[in-house]
Structure formats: C-alpha cells, structure tokens
A and B are shown apart, each in its own frame.
Chain A
C-alpha cells in the first residue's frame, strides 16, 4: 500500500499495516467530528509518524499512484474540517 503525506513523500507500507493506519485515522476523524481542537495536532502527528516510521520512501523517479493521500503535516484543525465538507484541500 502506498501512502502519500502531502508536501513530503510517498511511503510504501506493508498491507498488514492497514488496520493500524485505519485505527489512527479514525481517531483523528473522531477528534475532528467531536470538535476536540486541543487533541487534534497530537493525534494527527501520531498518524503521520506511524507512516514515516513504518513506510519505505518511494523513489522520486517512480511513477506510482498512492492508495491514500494524507494532508500536510501543518494541517490546521479548521482545514481538517474542510476535508470533510466543501471542496477539500485541492481545489478543482
């Protein structure tokens, strides 16, 4: 599975990591949904750190598309909210 952290790199992760990644992402989504502003940064950092620590960086000259694209590390709580509504982070 290939995961891109926006603004950084693409990482190749073993398929077994999907469940853990899903769990970490659900945590973040729950925090955003619950409006728990104070918990957001830490939870999102944990998710990204998991990808960085367990993934292998995909070389720049490889043309692989990602299965998942995660927003940048400096994502704000407000921006995380727009990921679920409106246009999202990438405008058309």
Chain B
C-alpha cells in the first residue's frame, strides 16, 4: 500500500529517526522525546483555543445579524403601514442580505464545532500516548541495555510520533477551515461597517450606493415575495384590501358593479 498511506508513515518514521540520531544516550533521548511531546501537547491546546476563538467571533456576528433581521423586518412593516413602499423594499433587501449571511455563518459555526470536537478527541488520544510513553521510558531506562533500549525507544517514539503527526494534520485542517471562514467573517464585517444593517429610517431620500449594491446582492424575487406577503398581512397594500372590513370577504372584481353594491 504505497499509494494513499505510504507517504505519511514514511514522514513519521523519518522524523523519529532524526530524533533518535540526536542523542547517543538512550536515557537522554527518552527524556528529550518526552519533553518535546509535552511541548507539542501545549501547541495542540493552543490550536484548540484558536478554533474556539474563531467560533466565538462567528457566533457574535450571528447574534448581531439576527438582531438586524428582526429590526429590519419591523422597519419594513412600519414603512409599509405608513405607505412608504420604497423604504419597506429597501429594508427587506437588507434583511435578505443579512439572512443569507446568517445562513453562511451558521454552516461555518457547525463546521468549526466539528473541528473543535475532532481536535479535542485527538488531544485526548495524544495525552494518553504521551502518558504511556512516560511510563515506558522509565521501564526502558531501568531494564534494558543501551543497544536494546534503542529498539524499544524507536518503537515507543514512533507510536507517539504517529499520534503527534495525526494531531498535526487535524490542526492543519482546522486552521485551513478557519482561514476560509475568516474571509466570510470579514465580508460580513465590511457589510456592517458600510451601514448595510443600520437603521433604515436613517436613510435619506433617494438611492445611495449601499442600496444599489444591495439590490445586486439580495435575491429580488425573494424580496418581491416577502413584500407581497407583508402587504397581505398588513392588509394595507392593495386598495381592495383597504376597502374590505374584517370578517367580510371582498367581492370578486367582476361582480362589484352588480349585486355587491346593491346590498349596501
């Protein structure tokens, strides 16, 4: 199986043999290896902390976007009630963009949570291996001659080294994922900084740059649908809806001139 798995085991073995070449004295090699392992474990903990920090940042953005969605929805309703359809549409466009960003963030938070779990599992395995190595090194020091010890050390060190490499890989993958997410987090921050999710009522008359950009960003059919739905809910959009009173269905348009009016 030299294909998929070969390279990784070769790398681990090369690293371990480099380590073994460093010291002539087995006891020294063992202590040095152990010291390195404990250092590596600290790095893993730091790596996990970085993932948690990245996750928290995304979660804070999520909270802030959720608030914006609620606020913009309210403002759209208020604008529509006041007959300002353009303003309502602008608010809904912003809401639409916020919701899209929110979905993206949600996926990424879930992904980061998975990465965090994997890293934590890996860290526990590595800790167990390092602990086993610590016990074993004392046994090796006490029981074996220098020549025999080299062989045993090599076995033990490779065992730990492999786990270490595995954690290293998991960390690398987590870092790569976090990097990708930073791009989205930054994009959301830029939208926020540009005032995208700010108070819609603070807008002056006419379209500004943000509005033009948002029109491109937001999915127009979704905004149209929502505006129509909102009109229906508020009952203030179309003139026929305004005329009808609660509990009484508006007569079909075709019959209005006939029977409908005659009754009143």
Contacts and interface: CB of A to CB of B under 8 A. Distances in A.
A65 interface: yes
A81 to B, nearest CB: 11
A92 interface: yes
A4 interface: yes
B131 A72 contact: no
Kindly name the residue among A60, A63, A80, A88 whose own CB sees the greatest number of chain B CB atoms within 10 A: A63
Contacts of B124: 60
A71 B155 contact: no
Interface residues of A, number: 33
A4 B129 CA distance: 14
B8 A89 contact: yes
Secondary structure dominating the interface of B: helix
A34 interface: no
Contacts of B3: 25-26, 28-29, 83-84
A16 interface: no
B132 interface: yes
Interface stretch (B50-58, B69-77, B164-172): B164-172
A46 B125 CA distance: 25
Interface in A32-71: 60-71
B136 to A, nearest CB: 6
B133 interface: yes
Contact of B155 (A3, A29, A65): A65
A71 B159 contact: no
B182 interface: no
B159 A62 contact: yes
Contacts of B122: 7
Contact of A4 (B118, B132, B162): B162
Contact of B7 (A22, A65, A88): A88
Kindly name the residue among B1, B162, B168, B170 whose own CB sees the greatest number of chain A CB atoms within 10 A: B1
Interface string A1-43: 0011011010000000000011001101100000000000000
A92 B13 CA distance: 12
A66 B172 CA distance: 21
A7 B170 contact: yes
A78 interface: no
B173 A68 contact: no
B206 interface: no
Contacts of B136: 63
B254 interface: no
Give me the 5 closest cross-chain CB pairs, A-B, nearest first. A63-B159, A60-B128, A65-B158, A88-B7, A61-B132
Interface of A: 3-4, 6-7, 9, 21-22, 25-26, 28-29, 60-72, 74, 80, 83-84, 88-92
Given A25-B5, A69-B162, 7 more contacts: A7-B173, A25-B3, A28-B4, A29-B3, A63-B129, A68-B1, A83-B7
Interface of B: 1, 3-9, 11-13, 118, 122, 124-125, 128-129, 131-133, 136, 155-156, 158-162, 165-166, 168-170, 172-173
